[in-house]
Every structure is written in C-alpha cells, then in structure tokens.
Structure 1
C-alpha cells in the first residue's frame, strides 16, 4: 500500500507544510491523527505554505483531510497559500473545496422546553404591544376622518350608515333577544335553586335584574356582536383588500377610512346600546318567566320587587359601557380587515383573529368598567 507523508518546516514566522505520497482512503486513517496534531500544535503562525507537489495520488477522503488543514488555519485568521496541484488532481481538489463550502450546517441543538415556553410568551407579549400600538394609530385615523366631516373636508355618508344600521341592529334583534332571554332564564333558575335553601326566593329578582342591567346584558350582546358583526366587517373589508378595491379608492382620491370604516363605526356605536337595551328587556323577561314557572313568583310580584329594589343607575351603568364596547369591536374588526393579504387563507386567519381579539378586549373593558364604577361606589 502506498504511503502518505506529512512534514513541517518553520521559516521565521512562516510555517511550511509538505505533503507527499498517496492521500487516499487507504492512508486517511493513519494521516488523520497527524493532521489533528498539526492543527493543535502549530499555534498561529503569520502564514502557512501548503506544498502538494510531491502528492502522487489524491481522492475525495484524502482531499478532505488536506482541506481540513486549510480551513483549520483559515479559521484562526492565518493566510494559507497552496501550491503543487495541477491537472485532474487540482480539479478534484477544487470540487472537494466547493462541496465542503456548501455543505449544510449541523442542525442546532434543541432548546430546553422551558426556554421555548418563555420565548413564546415573550413573542406573544411583543405582538400584543404591536397590536395595541396599531389599534391606537388606527383610532387616530378614524378620529381624523370624523374630524374632516365636521370641518367640511369630508362627506357624511348617511345611506351607508343606514344600511349598516339595518345589518347591525335590526337584523340582529331576533337572535340577540333569543340568546339573552335564555341567559336570563338560566340565571333565574340557578338563583332560585340556591336561594330556596335559605327561604329567599324573591332575591332572585335582584340577582337577575341587577346582574343583567350592569354586566351580563351588555357583555353577552357585545360578544354576540363581535362574532356576528365584527367578523362580517373583517370579511367585507378583507375581500375588498384582496380585490384591490381599497387601492382603487386611494387612486380615486378617496380615503378608505372615511368611506368604509367610519359608516360602520357610527352605526355600531349607535346600534350597540339599542341592542343592549333590547337584550336587557329580553333577559329580564326570561328571568321573570322562569321565576314564575320554576319558583312560583308571579309576574306582578317580580315587577314590584324590581321597581322597589333596582335603581335606575344600574340601567345607565350598563348602557354607558355599550358605546365603548362598540368602538373596540369596530376598530379591531376593521384593522384586521385592512391586514388581509392576497389569499383566502389570510382572510380566514384575520377573521378569526378579529373575533378572538374583539371578545378578549370586550371582556377586559368590562372588567375595567366594573372596577371603575366600584371605586366610585356607583
């Protein structure tokens, strides 16, 4: 078997490495320890000369070892000049060097599960901060569009507002009334079931009416509107974005926020308090019916107890929340519609995000209002 040799010579600050013999698969096992020792003991010379003129044979495995010498010193910032290769051997070595340069990197080590979880939470927090900033910016655009109408620079589109009122309010009354009627009946049934043990059945009137007027009525209606109307806003605006109709409005010199967003926002801010009032009445009616059937509380006693114990302030507390809920739902729905890209998948993702974010913010807003009114003792 042909032998391979590796010799070194130091000339001042330059290291000369001379290779000889057959650098092939047969000799690679013997030469690999010598190459490793050379890289470990040579340190960092000023320059390295790699002399391959005495190499008689070279194959892929031997060329890889030679290339390892070059890359080992190159990684330390030491310039390496190579000489002595020609013909087919030079071509083979060039192919080896190119292949090693483009070889895929080793896959990264898996990160611990705790680190991944913390990283995910951090990313979600950053994304939430960006969403809040975008929401505030979009609110500014809506306020500017509304201001342009009052200053005469924009145009109030009454037909668009009336059309949106029809979709948002009047067509939603049946489903809102049904849902709140059932919710009011469930609250009354549960209240009677537990109050009966204490002989305080009539207190179910306070439970149903106060809870409905202050919290449940506006909250349930807002969640339903976020799922029904908010998703429709996102889908409508997103479809227009996909078909480049919004870009066409800009080319025509029209403000998309003024034309598309503002009528929907106005209709939603006006319509949600109306739906909340309808929902309150329906929930109280459901509670009264269940109280009459399940708790043997006649309607006249239910109404009398409600008039005696329930103050008007509870009505205004619930209705005061509705415009703010509507503002949040409209802003989230419209901004998610504006974020739709050119695919149906993007439309579905943004519509889902619109409903989830709107419901979350509505619940957060309700909690903030509850703390605010509690601090006022109202």
Structure 2
C-alpha cells in the first residue's frame, strides 16, 4: 500500500546534507512573519540541529528577530540575557542553561542548544544592540517562578505595586509551590486565587503599556501567573480544555513578543509537532483542540506563517518512562505499517526536505496518514496502539524535514528540584 506514494515522495524530496540545501525552504518563507519549526519528539538530536540550521539562516538572511520555544519564560530569560550580551548575564549561555530545573530538563538544557545559543551570542556581539536576536520561552508552567520574578522586579523598580504582588503570592503560599495541591483545592472548595492574580495582571499590564519596554518582563510574568492559575484550575476539572488554555497562552505570548520587538519583527518558534502543525488537519479538531500553528494562521494569515514539521522512521530518543522519571536513551522502533513514516522510509533520501506546492498536490499530501508523535513520557513497546496522530500532511504543514535514522539528544546533567508538575496532555508534548 505504501509503495503507491514512492513516485510522489521522490518528486517532492530535496536531499538534506548541509545548510545550503535549505534554499528552497527560505524561498518558501519569503516575507512571512512567523516560521514554526516542529519536532516529532522532545529528545532527538537531528531535530534540534536542523532547527538550529534553519534558524541561523532565517536570522542572518531574513532578519528574524527572536526564537521563541516551548519553555518557561524565567529560565529562557536568563538565556536571552546571555545571548543578547547584557552586562549582568553569563558570558557563556551554557551557564544559563545549566540552571534549568523543571522536568524534563533535557528539552532545553542540552548540548545542541548550547551550540546554537553560543552561535547566537557570537552573532549578536557583532551587530547593533537593537538588532540582536532574542531567545524566549512561551510556556505557561512557571507560576511560582514568575511570581518571584515579579516581586524582585517590583521591589527595585516599582515598590508601590509590591503589596498587590504579595497578595497574589500569599494566596498561593499555602500550596507549597505544588500545582497539584492548588488544582485539587479548587475542586474541593469554591475558592481560588483568580481575583488576586487578575488584580496583579491588570496593574502590570496598564503600567507596561504606559511606560514601555522596561516593564515588559514583569508584564509577561504576570500573564504567565494568570495563565498558569487558569491552566491548573482547568486541569483539575479533567478533560482536554487545559490543552487549549496552554496553547492559547503560547499564542498570546508570541503576539506580545512580536509587538514588543516592533512592527517589522519576525518570529521563529520551536515546539512539538502537536503544537506547530495545524490542529485542523488532525483528529485534534474533532476533540475541540486548537494549537499555536492553527492560531497563528488565523491571527496573521496563512501567507504570513510557515509551519515546518519533522519526522523520523527509527533510531534513539531521550525520554522518561513516567512523568518525572529519570531520563534515558530509548529505542525508536520502525514506523508502523500504513504510516507516513513507513511511506517516507521506503522512498525518501536518508535526510530530506519537502516543501509543499500550493496547488496540484499529490495524494501523499491530501490522504490521511498516521504520523508519529513522541512525548517526554514514552514507551516504545506500546507504539502499535499509540504515539500516532492521523494527519493530512499538506494541510498540517507547509514543509517537512525527514530524518530516516535519528539519534538521541545530548542532555546536560541537570538535577530537577521538583517532580510535582502535573503531566501535560498528551504525554508531555
């Protein structure tokens, strides 16, 4: 059955050997404002290195303003300060990455990210400060970390607002920085910290709009506190709505960053395929789920957004066998029968780039095929009944990077301080 796509695969594929082979993708990007680069796992070496190669060319040749990742704002802010060569920041981004504590630390604290952020710092050191490319986190999890960042900033820059921040901090204090305790408490009794958080957010939002760039970080941390409170409260009710809370938060964070950088700003996003690939081209839509790829197309227009998926047929990956479990290198078995991975394995070069035509699309791009999705929690032995998302490839992405045999990412050895974070749906993607 899969052999019927062989001619189509061969006709669409460009061999991917070095960054020069990305010309066809940069042509497709054109004047787009947002490029989202996915991954089929959170622990594959080639996904990180090719995203870095694409991002380097976008920054150098297309003037992209920043990279925004599926990570926490406070952690990534330390990296951002390093890569933008700020005087109070580490001179080596590795030192900032080594402070990442939230499981799974290997997602960003890895050698591949060190290589990219060191390049970014070197590049930024040679250009004017206002054209230096940033590195930011989009995610929603850092409730307590963001509250502490707000308090620290207000005590130095706006002490009149400290009581408002302390009210929010004290409301959460009984839960001992355990989001599961907070989420459970909102189910048992009709009380929560929403009013305190909203008051804090309104104050910081108003002052950020009035006073400009100096308050942006405090405002963003307040948006995270508000989003995290809503996310954990929604998770306690069960169901999948928390997925939408999280992706809508990331969408809003991306839009705030674009406005912060200015009217000519352009963004690169690194996140899992399940966030990047348009949800409407998968079974996520039937479940009522949205994602940042879909939301970006709706917000900026499909001509201003380029979505790039990634995939692999077999190899190794870093993951855990349960939420909070020690990371380990696991095998990635061959793609299952009748999947996209099986089709590409049979006909594509070992490393290939597919840039999809806008019209006259072959069956490979219009048929629904199962497409692998590996989270931070992974059980290779269960792939026969899980880890695949029904996908119409040509609608989900604008382009696709294929790695037939992939290798595990190279993590830094960072010890997480807490394993209390609720597992995100589905399985940490």
TM-score by length of 1: 0.25
More strand by share: 2
User: As a proportion of its length, which structure holds more helix?
Assistant: 1
Of structures 1 and 2, the one scoring higher in RCO (CA 8 A, sep 6+) is: 2
Instruction: Point out the structure with max Rg over C-alpha.
Output: 1
